[in-house]
Structure 1
Amino acid sequence: MGKIEALFFDVFGTVVDWRSSVARALEAALGPRGVSADWAAMADAWRARYQPAMEEVRAGRRPFVVLDVLHRENLEAVLAEFGVGGLSAAELDALTRAWHRLDPWPDSAGGLAALRRARIVAAMSNGNIALMVNLSRHGGLVWDAILGAELAQAYKPDPLCYLRGVEALGLQPAQCMMVAAHNDDLRAARALGLATAFVRRPTEHGPRQTTDLEPAAAWDVVCDSLTELADRLS
């Protein structure tokens, strides 16, 4: 691991707890309007539209748009699915920005700070730059760079997303490590020559999560937190 100079981090699910945060935001915005719903289920439904929306871009069926646009479109669809109406455009925009205020996992800020003492730490997310800046300020997350989809104009796991990040830092793939709680993210990064670290986040999708509970391959590092990752790489 001595050759690793930069760590690229998946953010949603790996660094921040999107599900609990989005569920709270939905309840705070819609509860006072008299809406009664399973807020976690609504958050799950919103997130379930994430990959299909990005696939429209990956497949070339629509031009690249930033994730805020996709989240806003998906929100409207989810509210219709749950029978919720009557929100103004401004209210829809404000609720979409719930993704800018996701709380980090307890180990995230400290783990990133420890890792940053010796290596470059960069967000490698499908989130757009404005979203990442607000999210980082909200959670006290300090990055050396915000890379990912908007820089590459492509969504992970498109190879461009990883390779443009490597190029932006003036490095080679073998000098970079992808850190994620998702096996498919690591699989795509390894295929391009990046090192890999799997972080277990067994409640990302709630208490009945069935995916990404364990590493699906012999990743370079497997750990339970970013603080453990810092210890392992020190």
Structure 2
Amino acid sequence: MTGKVYLVGAGPGDPGLFTIKGLQLLREADVVMYDALANPDLLKECRPDAELIDAGKRARDHHLSQWQTNELLVKYAQEGKTVVRLKGGDPFLFGRGAEEAEELRKAGAEVHVVPGVSSSISVPELAGIPVTHRDHTSLVTFITGHEKADRTEDRVDWKALVGGHGTLVILMGLGNAGHISQQLIEGGMSPDMPAAIISKGSTPEQKVAVTTVSGLEAAIRDNELEPPGIMVIGSVAKVRDILGDLA
């Protein structure tokens, strides 16, 4: 008997932004493997007899390696279990969802995806920052600020991104803000380009700092901004001055 694995996006943090389909599956699952960025309040919806597994990953603090996570997903599927793999945001946007789906497919397991509300768009807009705006830009680029640990060179072409004149949305980059700022300025971006950092977006602990690209690292330090955080770089950051918080 073969079970089913559902890769479910938990949204940006506010449990009210979790999808109806995700909630239904969470209530039915035999096993729930959840990430660090999934709101723990969602786990209250699980069956009393469901097996809950913390597969959370933060910098230098991995409860399970990615290899172990993949192995467990395959194991439970082969045991005929219904598994929810609960991931912060959306499973396929810097969430390793595609990697896990590939491993499950290779093992012959049945796998489905349930998209989540991505923090890359929802967190800025809740802070009054649209990632696109007809008066500012019609281009937006999503970037991970945290590459694979074994990668020795920067795979992001920062100079090309500067030339695109669009909004840059950088996820998981608070710890690399100084490097990112330096690369963008060296690539030709004005040090005075507006930028914003949103920490713990969509939650009661949300903090927002508006600064410039040259001031990213200082703004994170001075405002004591902690992960998870999103940086938005581009003139759209100024729209917050008009809109304010929209949560």
The answer to whether TM tops 0.5 is no
TM-score by length of 1: 0.40
TM-score by length of 2: 0.39
Structure 1 or 2: more strand by fraction: 2
Question: Between Structure 1 and Structure 2, whose CA radius of gyration is higher?
Answer: 2
The structure, 1 or 2, with the larger RCO (C-alpha pairs under 8 Å, 6+ apart) is 1
